[in-house]
Structure 1
Amino acid sequence: MVSRFPGTARLRRIGTSREGRPLLMLSAGHGPHKALVVAGPHPDERAAGGTALALAELAARGDRQSPATDPTLVTWNIILCLDPDGAALAEAADDAGPVLGRGFDPVSVSVPDLGNAAGPGFGPDLGPIPAKRPLSLARYYRTAYRPMAAEQPEWAPVADRPIPETLALLRVIDELRPFIQCSLHSTDVGGSWIQLTRDLPDLAVPFSESAEAIGIPLQQGTYDALYWENPSPAIYVLPPPDSAARLAAGSEDIARSTWCAPRHYGGVTAIIEVPIWAAPMVADTTPEPEAVRLLSNLADLVRDGGRQVTEVLSKTRGFLPPPETDPLRRVLEWMAAGLYDLVAASWQPLAQQAAAANTPEDPRHLTTAQVAALDIVARRQPLRAAGLLLRLLEASANAAAPALHDELSDLFTTWCTDFETALHTRPVPVQAQVAHQTRTAVAAAECALRALGQG
């Protein structure tokens, strides 16, 4: 990119990871308004790498279909991978050979044609979508790795454990004072949604039209923003710092995350989620008459699944690598220490709310979409843990490992099949994920510019 656009695209090292890997930032354009993009905040969310390069090329080649991609107005600064250590662990699982298989096939990502990014009539330029065997949930969860919260760079400040990746990002925010930060995320199953630290009212139309053009459902309810303001479909706005509004379990101190750092300079953060598998139920806003019973079942599901994985884990503690030296083991112990119960208990207020609804029009009713979003969480938590433990058992030379592996593998396979069946999942091509995420980031930047009186 730098050699293709000399003088326009620049690459520099902004820090070093815990294990000594470089943290690289690619910048394109020379405009006075600084946009910051964070790719790779979670190593199990892969589309952001393609989105990062697509955004950089739009800015570097002088694309002016939107004021946000005018290189004389906006400089795009793109951290290419915020967690390279986690990415290396995920890639190691991808390359583990015939047992694990390849997690993601290589793909050529086309830069999407934005068209009129802020209005109707634009369509994706996805290029040829190759006919490949779709990635299965089983293959995904057997290679997925997500660190415990205190080791996730965007969330480490909440746990009072600054890590080099976090400090590097915060230094960049202080240096650039970005008018917008786009954090690029993926969800394993569901739809697309945006979390904002401040409302951008004009974003709703381009966001929904982009999703519709590609065929991605809008997620009308998400565990990540259970109690956030919801001014537009699938757009959620963080309550102000002095608000007494309830947040999702574990996010009470969200104001200390890197998402909120640009607010010190008047900036806004957009967390842009795209699905790896689409599940149409997350867009269904009809009331769910059995919500109370279903939430109780889902609480049992996540607790029972977590208990079964933890029972296998307890039989391995004498021979697996210790958590002090093994990041996969640290995640397993963190989850076993109460995460499943925390997730399940956080739904109790929603069940009480639904039980109190006494007319069909009562807004306290939960929708099919909201219940489906919690269904996804209930199924994913044990699967994440089981996938990590299976990897550790496969690498172990202990005589007890094969039998424990087979025991857990049977559970894992059943859970994956049930997940795909219950949520009616379908894979979303990587090119479609990238096109939607790219256009949403540009639209968000354009809206933020407009709020500044630009564009």
Structure 2
Amino acid sequence: MSHSTVDAYPGVAGVVAAASAFVRFRPGLCTLRVVGRSREGRPLYLLTVGRDRPRVRNVLVVAGPHSDERVGAASALRIAERVALDPQLHVGSGAAWHFLLCLDPDGTLRSETGPAVRRTPAEHFRHAYRPPADEQPEWAPSIRPPQDQLPESQALTGLIDELRPELQCSLHGNDIGGSWIQLTRDLPGLAEALGKLSAERDVPVQTGTYDALYWRSSGPGVYLMPGPGERAQFDSLPEDVSRSTWIRPHTYGGMTALFEVPMWASPGVSDSSPHPDPARALADVAALLRHQSGLARTMLSEVRQLPPPGADGARLLRIADGLVAMGPRVADEWERLHPSPVRLSRAHVAALDIAARRMSLRAVGALLQLLAASEDPPARLLLLKGVRRLSRWAEDLAAGHGLTWLPVPVQVDLQTETVLTTFRLLR
């Protein structure tokens, strides 16, 4: 299982095939088993590297938690190969590594449509599939009632209870920005390591984020998840960090680290200098979000006048509807960020601007996927109009933030090295 140099993400089926071949060549060290099934009945595969023995230190690596963030599966295979080839990473450190190859195969398969190699931002948002938070397996336990949990979430929590991992690594891939890490416990030295690894690959370290705006930082690009009673995120977002699957390893004395690498690097997210006029910038970003959300809402209304969609169409409508409804609420919150409890840097404002544009791009992209399945003439006309709008918005985003595509092998290499460095620091 060699490190691919192809500038494309592997598909769900290809990842499983590679893992199966990997196990056949290392039968005494590696195993592959099914640990659950998705909502649509697809198997959830766990690749294990390292022998089970008393007092083993388990590491759980979760790939594909978000269906539009596809780098994790390739990174998981690469990390597995590195571990297998280096006894110090398993038998020498008393560790066994467990790789959940794709937590959301149903959604990831939907994101595989469209160009396979080096998509443009417009192609990415047109074809990527990202369900609402209550259908995302890591977040769902914090939103859904206990009696209505996703089977993917249940499989993951069951695996955590079985393995009691010392370290859970969740492999994410933000579409636009830089490299950064979220931790449930601090790990001294990780920020310095992240800075070095990122600089060697010309990847900016993200010092301002939308997701972790209120979180403490232990160094550039490393954010500590808030404790009970601490402000975690914007009120308009339904998720609750304290009830996510990231916290569950704490029951057994473990911790979780989330590793983010970008598809497109944007230098602005690393600029930690104070913003000269945050009030004006926040008002501008809020106005942009309201404007684009309004246009997406109009398109959503036009789509609703077409013949009723099928099952996938209804799912895409729900995604678009949620994003359109969220836009104005988020804009209101951003305007209230001045005066802010957080010292707003240029990186913070850049991250908020990216998040605003991304929200509307995702909404329109979901509607375009719905329209693409229809042969109805009004739907085809609306599709062409929507494609032009999405392309224009994506071009504005790319130009305004100086986006540079980060080749997939570089994404994989950076994520792999960061995970292995985290493990070594934990030792």
The one of 298, 305, 315 equivalent to 1:327 is 315
SS at match of 2:257: strand
CA–CA distance in 1 between the matches of 2:36 and 2:155? Answer: 5
Q: Which amino acid aligns with 2:130?
A: R
- Report the counterpart of residue 11 of structure 1 in structure 2: 32
Q: Which amino acid aligns with 1:283?
A: S
Quick one: structure 1 residues 299 and 323, their matched pair in 2 at CA, closer, same or farther if it must change by over 3 Å?
A: farther
Q: Percentage identity across aligned positions?
A: 42
Q: Which amino acid aligns with 1:59?
A: V
Question: Is 1:41 aligned to residue 27 of structure 2?
Answer: no
The one of 398, 416, 423 equivalent to 1:420 is 398
- Report the counterpart of residue 51 of structure 1 in structure 2: 75
When structure 1 is superposed on structure 2, of 12-21 and 250-259 the one drifting more is 250-259
Q: Which amino acid aligns with 1:248?
A: F
How far is the alpha carbon of 1:399 from its aligned partner? Answer: 2.5
Question: Is 1:366 aligned to residue 356 of structure 2?
Answer: no
How far is the alpha carbon of 1:63 from its aligned partner? Answer: 4.4
CA–CA distance in 1 between the matches of 2:90 and 2:416? Answer: 11
Q: Is the 8 A contact 1:283 1:369 kept in 2?
A: yes
Quick one: structure 1 residues 425 and 309, their matched pair in 2 at CA, closer, same or farther if it must change by over 3 Å?
A: same
Quick one: structure 1 residues 381 and 206, their matched pair in 2 at CA, closer, same or farther if it must change by over 3 Å?
A: same
- Report the counterpart of residue 295 of structure 2 in structure 1: 308
- Report the counterpart of residue 395 of structure 1 in structure 2: 373
How far is the alpha carbon of 1:352 from its aligned partner? Answer: 2.1
Q: Deviations over 1:69-112 (max 9, x none)?
A: 55651111010000000011112x22xxxxxxx1x32xxxxxxx
How far is the alpha carbon of 1:269 from its aligned partner? Answer: 0.6
How far is the alpha carbon of 1:320 from its aligned partner? Answer: 4.1
CA–CA distance in 1 between the matches of 2:350 and 2:312? Answer: 36
Give 1:421-436 correspondences, 5 Å limit.
421-436=399-414
CA–CA distance in 2 between the matches of 1:2 and 1:34? Answer: 19
Give 1:72-91 correspondences, 5 Å limit.
73-91=94-112
The one of 159, 170, 179 equivalent to 2:143 is 159
Q: Which amino acid aligns with 1:183?
A: S
- Report the counterpart of residue 119 of structure 1 in structure 2: none
Give 1:293-304 correspondences, 5 Å limit.
293-304=280-291
The one of 249, 252, 269 equivalent to 1:265 is 252
Q: Is the 8 A contact 2:225 2:241 kept in 1?
A: no
Give 1:32-431 correspondences, 5 Å limit.
32-64=56-88, 68-70=89-91, 73-91=94-112, 93-94=113-114, 102=115, 104-105=116-117, 134-160=118-144, 161-241=148-228, 243-249=229-235, 250=237, 253-318=240-305, 319-321=307-309, 326-336=314-324, 338-353=325-340, 365-431=343-409
CA–CA distance in 1 between the matches of 2:90 and 2:348? Answer: 35
CA–CA distance in 1 between the matches of 2:175 and 2:366? Answer: 16
SS at match of 1:154: coil
How far is the alpha carbon of 1:346 from its aligned partner? Answer: 3.1
CA–CA distance in 2 between the matches of 1:248 and 1:73? Answer: 41
- Report the counterpart of residue 21 of structure 1 in structure 2: 42
CA–CA distance in 2 between the matches of 1:335 and 1:45? Answer: 18
How far is the alpha carbon of 1:366 from its aligned partner? Answer: 1.6
- Report the counterpart of residue 441 of structure 1 in structure 2: 419
Specify every segment of 5 or more residues in structure 1 that has no aligned partner in the other structure, as ranges: 95-101, 106-133, 355-363, 450-455
Q: Deviations over 1:104-163 (max 9, x none)?
A: 32xxxxxxxxxxxxxxxxxxxxxxxxxxxx531011111111011110000111112410
Q: Deviations over 1:415-436 (max 9, x none)?
A: 0110000000000011111111
SS at match of 1:326: helix
- Report the counterpart of residue 97 of structure 1 in structure 2: none
Q: Is the 8 A contact 1:33 1:75 kept in 2?
A: yes
CA–CA distance in 2 between the matches of 1:280 and 1:265? Answer: 39
How far is the alpha carbon of 1:372 from its aligned partner? Answer: 0.5
CA–CA distance in 2 between the matches of 1:24 and 1:365? Answer: 43
How far is the alpha carbon of 1:252 from its aligned partner? Answer: 6.0
Report the TM-score, using the length of structure 1 for normalisation.
Answer: 0.84
Q: Deviations over 1:219-249 (max 9, x none)?
A: 01111101001120010001222x3335334
Q: Deviations over 1:381-440 (max 9, x none)?
A: 110111111121121122211221222222111101100000000000111111111111
Quick one: structure 1 residues 345 and 323, their matched pair in 2 at CA, closer, same or farther if it must change by over 3 Å?
A: farther
Q: Is the 8 A contact 2:62 2:170 kept in 1?
A: yes
CA–CA distance in 2 between the matches of 1:310 and 1:322? Answer: 20
CA–CA distance in 2 between the matches of 1:138 and 1:244? Answer: 37
- Report the counterpart of residue 16 of structure 2 in structure 1: none
Q: Is the 8 A contact 1:302 1:340 kept in 2?
A: yes
Q: Which amino acid aligns with 1:353?
A: S
Q: Is the 8 A contact 1:284 1:369 kept in 2?
A: yes
CA–CA distance in 1 between the matches of 2:129 and 2:339? Answer: 34
When structure 1 is superposed on structure 2, of 370-379 and 252-261 the one drifting more is 252-261
Q: Which amino acid aligns with 1:328?
A: L
CA–CA distance in 1 between the matches of 2:239 and 2:278? Answer: 25
CA–CA distance in 1 between the matches of 2:87 and 2:265? Answer: 30
Q: Is the 8 A contact 1:15 1:23 kept in 2?
A: yes
Q: Which amino acid aligns with 2:57?
A: H
Q: Which amino acid aligns with 2:321?
A: E
How far is the alpha carbon of 1:195 from its aligned partner? Answer: 0.6
Q: Is the 8 A contact 2:133 2:239 kept in 1?
A: no
Report the TM-score, using the length of structure 2 for normalisation.
Answer: 0.89
SS at match of 1:236: strand
Q: Is the 8 A contact 2:321 2:363 kept in 1?
A: no
What is the root-mean-square deviation of aligned Cα atoms in Å?
Answer: 1.8
CA–CA distance in 2 between the matches of 1:72 and 1:282? Answer: 36
